[in-house]
Amino acid sequence: MFSDKDIAHFSKLETPFYYYDLNLLEQTLNACKDAARAHQFHVHYAMKANFNEMVLSKIKAIGFGADCVSGNEVKKAIDIGFVKDKVVFAGVGKSDREIIDALERDIFCFNVESLQELEVINALAEARQKIVKVAIRINPNVDAHTHANITTGLDENKFGINSWDMPACAAILNLSPNLEFIGIHFHIGSQITNLEVYKNLCNRVNEFSAWFEDHGFKVRILNVGGGLGIDYHNPHQQIPDFATYFKVFSDFLEVKPYQEVHFELGRALVGQSASLISRVLYVKNGKKKNFIVLDAGMTELMRPALYQAYHLIENLSGNERSMPHPQGTVNYDVVGPICESTDCFGKEIPLPESFRNDLIAIRSAGAYGEVMASHYNLREGVKSYSKEV
């Protein structure tokens, strides 16, 4: 909810912009930290969800590690002050340059996603006389029951090493003196709201862990990835239920005394902490459709265009203008200015009757929002502000 003060503040700013609630972010981080501590679980923040520096410094301060998926994320994590012993590097296509840079920074671990990558890392490490810690990212073929575009743990997905390649994987590890195997890694998808999915994941993790131990490898790290979803329909109910989430793993994972359980949460930590604030440029009332054209588009928030994602949309000006609204609500297609038909934030959205210059908030935009902004159509690039803490 925005206060009258927030709205008065917005009305002085040039739109569109991301507006971060760093208090809420901090409460969310603390809730996660406490819930994880109850089980001695370790949390790494999946930096790709949001690498805004205001956000990163809060997360670093709370003591989480960083889960990176590019060389630049590794660099940024270390530059901003994440401890390198808590920086991990995943990704299906790490370039030689990225591997070398991460090697030289002595990060905690590479999450390796193919047999060939194991060989490349071993060779690059050997040339630099380094021993590199690796975890094997396994594709467990577990259905995350989420949108197809953000499912990552099925046989048809590009991520991880498939189960049938495990013997070859073990053989390569045995022949690679510069690799130190430390554990297994999984990440089956994003915006997962059905926790049953994680039970299935736990069962697979137990099987793979046993397989590696039976083949003479000590599995010290069980990294179960991230993916916990947020409630896009209720941005007011802001803090995800971390306790219930972690309990699933506590109940279903078989953890040996020498094993650590690692999580890589992104969306659940940052998703509710930002809104995209925009203005109505034009209202087009048609026979079949009413359109609100915003000054924000898919160049500022791509999720709806990319995977038909839902975000709650609010008219912040409508509330104060007239109560109750003489016209009631009107159904609008809320669209952006970009020359693409997918540049639409929502269809048939009931809103108070809206007018040019009204302020519109697109909620729950803290994850995969600002970081996916682009310059398509030679757009400016989006600004961000935060609520005073």
Ligand X SMILES: *Cc1c(COP(=O)(O)O)cnc(C)c1O
- Minimum CB separation of residue 268 from ligand X in Å reads 6
The contact pattern for ligand X, residues 204-243, with x = CB under 6 A and - = no contact, is ---------------------xxxx---------------
Q: Which of 32, 59, 68, 90 binds ligand X (CB under 6 A)?
A: 90
Give the bridge partners for 349, in sequence order.
332
Helix, strand, or coil (residue 16): coil
How many positions of this chain bind ligand X (CB under 6 A)? 18
Q: Which of positions 349-368 make contact with ligand X (CB under 6 A)? A: 367
- Minimum CB separation of residue 372 from ligand X in Å reads 12
The contact pattern for ligand X, residues 267-306, with x = CB under 6 A and - = no contact, is xx--------------------------------------
Q: Which of 58, 94, 187, 379 binds ligand X (CB under 6 A)?
A: 187
| Nearest residue to 93 (alpha-carbon basis) of 67, 66, 120, 75 | 120
- Asked if residue 188 binds ligand X (CB under 6 A), the reply is no
Q: Between the CA of residue 68 and those of 65, 107, 185, 261, what are the distances in Å?
A: 10, 11, 14, 18
Indicate the burial class of 170 (C-beta count within 10 angstroms; 0-12, 13-18, 19 or more).
middle
**Cβ-closest position to ligand X:** 266
Q: Please say whether the beta carbons of 12 and 379 come within 8 A.
A: no
Q: Which of 21, 73, 98, 264 binds ligand X (CB under 6 A)?
A: 264
**Can you count the helices (H) and strands (E) in the chain?**
12, 17
Q: Which of positions 36-55 make contact with ligand X (CB under 6 A)? A: 46, 48-49
Rounded distance between C-alpha atoms, residue 88 and residue 135, angstroms: 10
Q: Which of 140, 153, 240, 266 binds ligand X (CB under 6 A)?
A: 266
Q: Please say whether the beta carbons of 311 and 232 come within 8 A.
A: yes
Q: Which of positions 56-75 make contact with ligand X (CB under 6 A)? A: 67, 69
- H helix intervals, 215-328: 242-252, 267-270, 303-307, 318-321
Q: Please say whether the beta carbons of 333 and 280 come within 8 A.
A: no
For residues 189 and 318, which CB has a smaller minimum distance to ligand X in the complex? 189
Q: Which residues bind ligand X (CB under 6 A)?
A: 46, 48-49, 67, 69, 90, 187, 190, 225-228, 264-268, 367
